[in-house]
Chain A
Amino acid sequence: MTSRRLSNGGRIDRSQKFAVRFGGKQFTAFGGDTLASALLAGNKGVVARSFKYHRPRGIIAAGAEEPNALVHLRDGARHEPNAQATLVEAFAGLSSTPQNAWPSLEFDIGAPLDLMSRFFGAGFYYKTFIGPFQGTGFWMFCERFIRKAAGMGFAKTIDDPDHYEKINAFCDTLIIGAGPSGLAAALAAGRKGDNVVLVDQDHVLGGSLLDEQAGSTSDAWLAQTAAELRAMDNVRILTRTTAFGAYDGDVFGLVERLQDHMQVPEADKPRQRYCLLRAGKTILATGALERPLVFAGNDVPGVMLASAVREYLNRYAVLCGQEVVLATNNDSAYQTAFDLRDAGATVTICDVRANISSVLVQKSVRAGITVLAGHGILQARGKKCVTGAQIVPVDSAGHATGSPRMIKCDLIAVSGGWAPVLHLWSQRFGKPDYHKSLDAFLPQRQRENITCVGALMGTTSCEDALRQGFDAGGKTGDAPELTLTEPFWGNDLSPVTIITKPDGTTPGKAFVDFQHDVKLADIDQAHLEGYVSVEHLKRYTTSGMATDQGKTSNLNALSRMAALCKMDIPAVGTTRFRPPFTPVTIGAIVGHEHGLHFRPTRLSVIHDWHRENGAEFTEAGAWLRPWYYPENGEDLRRAYIREAAHVREHVGIVDVSTLGKIAVQGPDAAEFLNRVYTNGFKTLALGRLRYGVMLREDGFVLDDGATARLGENDYFMSTTTANAAKILAKAELLLDTAWRDLKVHVTTITDQWAAFAIAGPTSRQLLADVTGADLSRDALPNNHFTNVLVNGVNCRLHRMSYSGELAYEIYVPAKSGRMVWESLMAAGKVHSLKPYGTEAMGALRIEKGHVAGAEIEGRTTMQDLGLEGLASGKKPFLGAVLRKRPHLENPDRPTLVGLEIIGDQGAKAGSLLFAQTGPTEGHSEGWVSSTTYSPALKKNIALALLSRGRTRLGETIRVVDFVGNSTLQAKVVSHHFFDPEGLRQNG
């Protein structure tokens, strides 16, 4: 292969001349080039090594179907793997390296791969996983070798300096593909006044028209059409944009490559933009991709698709070879032959068809082209580039019928017919229909809101494509007129794509899937092993499973399978395509939604106070909560122990604004509460509050919290922070469905109320100072609330305790939250009031034996948690029936206990519990749920669920942390470690 740039012609901008780098070498490029065209212009034949056999590979295509020319683009933080050189626009300073090039492009690894090659056949992965090598570590060995050798590309590990944008968009008419049929559709729909989006992956409009010789009649039509479209305000033209996914509801995923064609994006501009587009109707004008032919050596650099050879010649002025053998089974490749001849190449056509249109033959002869009817290529000769073609007369099945002869050449251009680009259609609708005359799968012309036009539908001429597009767009104004002399592929095609010896084998490796190195013999092997289903075949041989999703390989693999099974192609079927059409960078999908922008962060109304006062924060769901307030450089442990001890000795304040708060209102509010909580709420008097437990319908504990009765039909429910949204949604569902008879309204008021817990022996005095209210034991007993004024703000003061201390919760209108908090802090000075964080709050509740999320984790029942006393027997409630299932009442179930850890080291949550003797393996007898150091007890304690726990108080057990590989001893005790009689909280 000796490819070179012609001194004139093409659609490149010769005034812009610059260098691009590939694998450390410089290549000259012009404006409008792709990396691939620049490499071919520089006669770069070998651009990759193949996946398994490390054979030299060259560029075979000019577009999205290219399987070989995968490159790494750029260096450092902007490094990008898996780019197809055929889709990369060349720009000054572009640096690229071959992706599949182990050990190097030039060096043949040879012997070691021959040794390995018998393992690389069909089913290699499966056989290595489950065959005789299972458990031998052979897979591990192979995987390391394959990963290194296979060149799947590598992702960078440093942050991407560019930013990516995401948008939502809508349109009346989406047109995908700006070739002749797509442009005609856009003209009609645009003139009609539709809000139109026209998408093309190329940077210019035109599609296949750009492959015509520069100066053709199509140029004027294209220029005029583009101008008319650009002048319409209602038509948005998105070039450099790939519609990669078609989803339910006529939603399409697009990615615009806004700045990929430059070394560094312009300041503040997004590199790419991901667009989720909702379309009214969609016109698919995605065209067709040429099929390669399968013959021995069909992967030698210098074997290229005929249409690509034409595109390189006419669009980029690159002549890919001087002496060309062109093999085809249809009419369309003849245009390539004529154009090559015009450029001065010699051309021999091997046409597998015995009968060829006399017009084409005469035209070829006039042009000085030799046409061999009923001939195919049995084998391409050459190693790193084509040196000749063994041609042979063939029968209608592609079997050789005579002896081969050698034709010297430096380029083999092939056309095995065309495969419509039905990927998007298939993503939506699945199986397309097989059309025998075209030997292709075609979508349905019209299904739901999607219309298919042009080469995608196997059109036979340019006029046909224009008419289909214009009709689909709504036939408005003058119909577009453009005639091309090019013979179309749909005209007269013979379904022969595989050329073999008379016995059906090939005289050397013949490739079906270039990117995954799947050979014709691998399909044969899979057939021998009994594979019939096309989906199985695909996975077993990995044909079509590379990043190109088999754009060039699927049909050839199918037709071989069909021939082997003696079935027709529709009986074999085809596989369904999945998004994306071409690889999409993760950056575009993520957009700005990373780091802190991954999801919204919820902040308490007094978050700023916490920050200003040195709090360290922890995440609780979407919330950021103060974790601890270090003094004098304390670490977490020192700080929480100090904070918890301070609460027990003096008084502390913690921000509990994150608790879920729901207003439950209406005449049936009490009945509603009675049904969702296990304990009775009908008897709850005005001015009182009550702790309640909720179950799921299946009888497991769902949530807990206190509810206050504010008025006759007005209740204030609180939930745990984590379950707030879930409980509200569940209440709304119940009231809208099963319990529509209840007159109740539920409303979230979480954000309307700030809430602080004030706990400790001097909390009463502090609050009395601030509010001036009588808070004596008789005036406000435990589980009562009262309305108070703090600095002129109406607040509600609940007397209840989570810490086990004398404690209150004060509910403050959110906008006054900070002012009230600061009033409390100011008044608290004389009482040594200190803030405490969630870690100290957890230590206090563990000391008290209260359950939290670590215990109410979806697998525990009321009995398990020692809460069965709260289950009313006098009324129905959700979960009442199924909590009585025999298995849930089994006395062997793990139940809540306390553990006093022996020694100085605390236990890790998640550690497993084992009896003192016996092996520490298999199922444990329980697990540790929550742990802390207890400042009150001066020892490490934990809450745990232990099988038959309540009967084992006093026993010493083993606490095994299999992650940290440590074993501790612990004494089983009641989980009410501290003040079990409740003297302090009720004092």
Chain B
Amino acid sequence: MLRIHCPICGLRDETEFTYGADATVQQPDITETDQKAWLDYVFMRDNPRGPHREYWHHVTGCRQWLVVERDTLTHEMGQSFLAREVSK
């Protein structure tokens, strides 16, 4: 089981969280009308082997959305941040 550091609650079990999305892609501006930009955002994902950034929701804890650093190869958990403080 992964154990995820929540900046609000501390080190908690993975089962308190839900995975949200890939935190390395950015949603186009709502006024963007180019289909390609939205298609890339919705469907195109890298599948990195190694360090990665993901959105996790501390859904049964403080309900904050986090950006979590996770190594997809070793499952090692890196730092976590409040999403609203780091997302672009």
Bound complex: CA A736 to CA B87 (Å): 8
Q: CB-nearest residue of chain A relative to B86? A: A737
Contact yes or no, A733 B35, CB < 8 A: no
* Interface 0/1 of A867-898, CB less than 8 Å to B: 00000000011100110110000000000000
- The answer, yes or no, to whether B47 is at the interface (CB within 8 Å) is no
Contact yes or no, A249 B84, CB < 8 A: no
Q: A249-B2, A697-B41 are in contact. Are A736 and B21 (CB under 8 A)?
A: no
Bound complex: CA A276 to CA B82 (Å): 28
Contacts of B82 in A (CB 8 A): 736
Q: Which B33-63 residues have C-beta < 8 A from chain A?
A: 33-35, 38-39, 41-43, 55, 57, 59, 63
Bound complex: CA A278 to CA B41 (Å): 38
Q: Which A721-735 residues have C-beta < 8 A from chain B?
A: 729, 732-735
Bound complex: CA A852 to CA B40 (Å): 30
Contact yes or no, A249 B77, CB < 8 A: yes
- The answer, yes or no, to whether A155 is at the interface (CB within 8 Å) is no
Smallest CB separation, B5 vs chain A (Å): 10
Q: Which B1-27 residues have C-beta < 8 A from chain A?
A: 1-3, 13-14, 18, 20-21, 26-27
Bin chain B's interface residue count. 20 to 34
- The answer, yes or no, to whether A775 is at the interface (CB within 8 Å) is no
Bound complex: CA A698 to CA B44 (Å): 12
Smallest CB separation, A414 vs chain B (Å): 39
Q: CB-nearest residue of chain A relative to B14? A: A249
Smallest CB separation, B40 vs chain A (Å): 11
Q: A248-B2, A698-B42, A881-B33 are in contact. Are A737 and B55 (CB under 8 A)?
A: yes
Contacts of B34 in A (CB 8 A): 881
Q: CB-nearest residue of chain A relative to B33? A: A881
Contacts of B77 in A (CB 8 A): 249
Contacts of B39 in A (CB 8 A): 882
Bound complex: CA A71 to CA B2 (Å): 36
Contact yes or no, A732 B65, CB < 8 A: yes
Contact yes or no, B83 A675, CB < 8 A: no
- The answer, yes or no, to whether A167 is at the interface (CB within 8 Å) is no
Contact yes or no, A733 B83, CB < 8 A: yes
Bound complex: CA A835 to CA B13 (Å): 44
Q: A737-B83, A740-B87 are in contact. Are A697 and B2 (CB under 8 A)?
A: no
Smallest CB separation, A199 vs chain B (Å): 18
Contacts of A732 in B (CB 8 A): 57, 63, 65
Smallest CB separation, B76 vs chain A (Å): 8
- The answer, yes or no, to whether A716 is at the interface (CB within 8 Å) is no
Bound complex: CA A877 to CA B32 (Å): 10
Contact yes or no, B65 A248, CB < 8 A: no
Contact yes or no, A729 B84, CB < 8 A: no
- The answer, yes or no, to whether A119 is at the interface (CB within 8 Å) is no
Contact yes or no, B30 A729, CB < 8 A: no
- The answer, yes or no, to whether A130 is at the interface (CB within 8 Å) is no
Q: CB-nearest residue of chain A relative to B34? A: A881
**B38 CB contact (under 8 Å) in A248, A249, A697, A733:** A697
Interface of A is mostly: mixed
Contacts of A698 in B (CB 8 A): 42-43
Contacts of A249 in B (CB 8 A): 1-3, 13-14, 75, 77
**A878 CB contact (under 8 Å) in B13, B30, B75:** B30
Contact yes or no, B87 A737, CB < 8 A: yes
Contact yes or no, B42 A737, CB < 8 A: no
Bound complex: CA A250 to CA B11 (Å): 12
Contacts of B38 in A (CB 8 A): 697, 881-882
Smallest CB separation, B60 vs chain A (Å): 11
Bound complex: CA A675 to CA B30 (Å): 8
Contact yes or no, B27 A738, CB < 8 A: yes
Q: CB-nearest residue of chain A relative to B31? A: A876
Q: CB-nearest residue of chain B relative to A732? A: B65
* Interface 0/1 of A673-687, CB less than 8 Å to B: 001000000000000
Bound complex: CA A734 to CA B28 (Å): 12
Contact yes or no, A729 B59, CB < 8 A: yes
Max count, chain A CB within 10 A of own CB: residue among B13, B21, B30, B75: B30
Contacts of A276 in B (CB 8 A): 1
Bound complex: CA A735 to CA B84 (Å): 8
Contacts of A247 in B (CB 8 A): 1
Bound complex: CA A481 to CA B67 (Å): 51
Bound complex: CA A909 to CA B87 (Å): 44
Contacts of B41 in A (CB 8 A): 697
Smallest CB separation, A575 vs chain B (Å): 19
Contacts of A740 in B (CB 8 A): 84, 87
Contacts of A697 in B (CB 8 A): 27, 38, 41-42
Contacts of B84 in A (CB 8 A): 735-737, 740
Q: A876-B30, A882-B42 are in contact. Are A729 and B83 (CB under 8 A)?
A: no
Contacts of A710 in B (CB 8 A): none
Bound complex: CA A419 to CA B71 (Å): 31
Bound complex: CA A729 to CA B32 (Å): 23
Contacts of B42 in A (CB 8 A): 697-698, 882
Q: CB-nearest residue of chain A relative to B15? A: A276
Contacts of B14 in A (CB 8 A): 249
Smallest CB separation, A881 vs chain B (Å): 5
Contacts of A881 in B (CB 8 A): 32-35, 38
- The answer, yes or no, to whether A251 is at the interface (CB within 8 Å) is yes
Contacts of A250 in B (CB 8 A): 3
* Interface 0/1 of A239-259, CB less than 8 Å to B: 000000001111100000000
Max count, chain B CB within 10 A of own CB: residue among A733, A740, A876, A884: A733
Q: CB-nearest residue of chain B relative to A738? A: B27
Bound complex: CA A248 to CA B74 (Å): 9
**B3 CB contact (under 8 Å) in A251, A738, A877:** A251
Contacts of A675 in B (CB 8 A): 30
Contact yes or no, A733 B75, CB < 8 A: no
Smallest CB separation, B83 vs chain A (Å): 4
Contact yes or no, B3 A278, CB < 8 A: yes
Smallest CB separation, B82 vs chain A (Å): 8
Q: A729-B18, A729-B57, A729-B59 are in contact. Are A736 and B65 (CB under 8 A)?
A: yes
Contacts of B32 in A (CB 8 A): 876, 881
Bound complex: CA A245 to CA B59 (Å): 26
Contacts of B59 in A (CB 8 A): 729
Contacts of B65 in A (CB 8 A): 732-733, 736-737
Q: CB-nearest residue of chain A relative to B36? A: A881
**B35 CB contact (under 8 Å) in A729, A739, A877, A884:** A884
Smallest CB separation, A654 vs chain B (Å): 30
Bound complex: CA A735 to CA B13 (Å): 25
Q: Which A277-306 residues have C-beta < 8 A from chain B?
A: 278
Contact yes or no, B33 A737, CB < 8 A: no
Q: CB-nearest residue of chain B relative to A735? A: B84
Bound complex: CA A332 to CA B73 (Å): 40
Q: CB-nearest residue of chain A relative to B23? A: A737
Contacts of A739 in B (CB 8 A): 30
Bound complex: CA A276 to CA B2 (Å): 13
Smallest CB separation, A28 vs chain B (Å): 46
Contact yes or no, B2 A733, CB < 8 A: no
Smallest CB separation, A415 vs chain B (Å): 37
Q: CB-nearest residue of chain A relative to B66? A: A736
Bound complex: CA A736 to CA B13 (Å): 22
Contact yes or no, A251 B1, CB < 8 A: yes
Q: A248-B75, A729-B18, A881-B34 are in contact. Are A737 and B27 (CB under 8 A)?
A: yes
* Interface 0/1 of A715-757, CB less than 8 Å to B: 0000000000000010011111111100000000000000000
What 19 additional pairs, Cβ within 8 angstroms, besides A740-B87, A881-B38?
A: A248-B75, A249-B2, A249-B3, A278-B3, A697-B42, A698-B42, A729-B18, A733-B83, A736-B82, A736-B83, A737-B55, A738-B26, A876-B30, A876-B31, A876-B32, A881-B32, A881-B34, A882-B38, A882-B39
Interface residues of A (CB under 8 A from B): 247-251, 276, 278, 675, 697-698, 729, 732-740, 876-878, 881-882, 884-885
Nearest first, the 5 A-B pairs at minimum CB distance are A249-B3, A738-B27, A736-B84, A737-B87, A736-B83
Q: List 16 A-B contacts (CB under 8 A).
A: A247-B1, A248-B2, A249-B1, A249-B2, A276-B1, A278-B13, A675-B30, A733-B55, A733-B57, A735-B84, A737-B87, A738-B87, A878-B30, A881-B34, A881-B38, A882-B35
